[in-house]
């Protein structure tokens, strides 16, 4: 279990155990690989981030993860696995989010990318993301750092 503050100074708790905070979290976040690169999206307000969003009524969290990747990047998920869950103790609300690691097999142009400008494919993530204005606040706390470490050490290269 890891505890740290986010970009807005909210308390975040991250765990790689099986759904430690909620069996039915309201949000998902998907760290995506595509052809050996990272696949992200550019949110119109927040900037560049891995795709994700809210779980809709009637869908599982994994279905939400696959849908969000398609909506925000045009990517078709070939394989996906749960890696952990985090809790954000926000000023107004509390958020519980599942983190997934996904392999995207193909990208197809979409009519709309909803609240984003569509896919962003990167060979490497910048080392100084925390200082970069073009990146979203959700990429700027230790959730990303620990998840990338987990992927590197525990999951086969994709």
Q: Does 72 interact with ligand GTP (rule: CB under 6 A)? A: no
Q: Name the token pair of 22.
A: 């909620």
Q: Does 8 interact with ligand GTP (rule: CB under 6 A)? A: yes
Q: Helix (H, G, I), strand (E, B), or coil: what is residue 146?
A: helix
Mask of contacts with ligand GTP, 132-151, x by CB under 6 A? ------x--x----------
Total of chain residues touching ligand GTP, rule CB under 6 A? 13
Q: Does 88 interact with ligand GTP (rule: CB under 6 A)? A: yes
Nearest-CA neighbor of 95 among 153, 46, 22, 155? 22
Q: Looking at 9, 36, 93, 152, which residue binds ligand GTP (CB under 6 A)?
A: 93
Q: Looking at 80, 95, 107, 145, which residue binds ligand GTP (CB under 6 A)?
A: 95
Contact set with ligand GTP (CB under 6 A): 6, 8, 10, 12, 27, 29, 88, 90, 93, 95, 97, 138, 141
């Amino acid at each position: 279990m890891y505890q740290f503050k986010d970009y807005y100074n909210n308390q975040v708790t991250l765990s790689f155990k099986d759904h430690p905070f909620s069996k039915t979290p309201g949000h998902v976040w998907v760290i995506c690989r595509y052809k050996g690169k990272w696949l992200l999206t550019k949110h119109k307000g927040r900037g560049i981030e891995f795709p994700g969003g809210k779980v809709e009524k009637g869908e599982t969290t994994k279905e939400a993860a696959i849908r969000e990747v398609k909506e925000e990047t045009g990517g078709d998920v070939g394989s996906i696995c749960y890696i952990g869950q985090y809790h954000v103790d926000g000023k107004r609300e509390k958020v519980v989010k599942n983190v997934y690691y996904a392999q995207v097999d193909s990208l197809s142009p979409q009519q709309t990318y909803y609240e984003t400008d569509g896919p962003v494919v990167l060979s490497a993530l910048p080392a100084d993301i925390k200082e970069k204005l073009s990146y979203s606040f959700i990429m700027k706390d230790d959730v990303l750092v620990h998840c990338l470490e987990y992927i590197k050490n525990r999951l086969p290269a994709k």
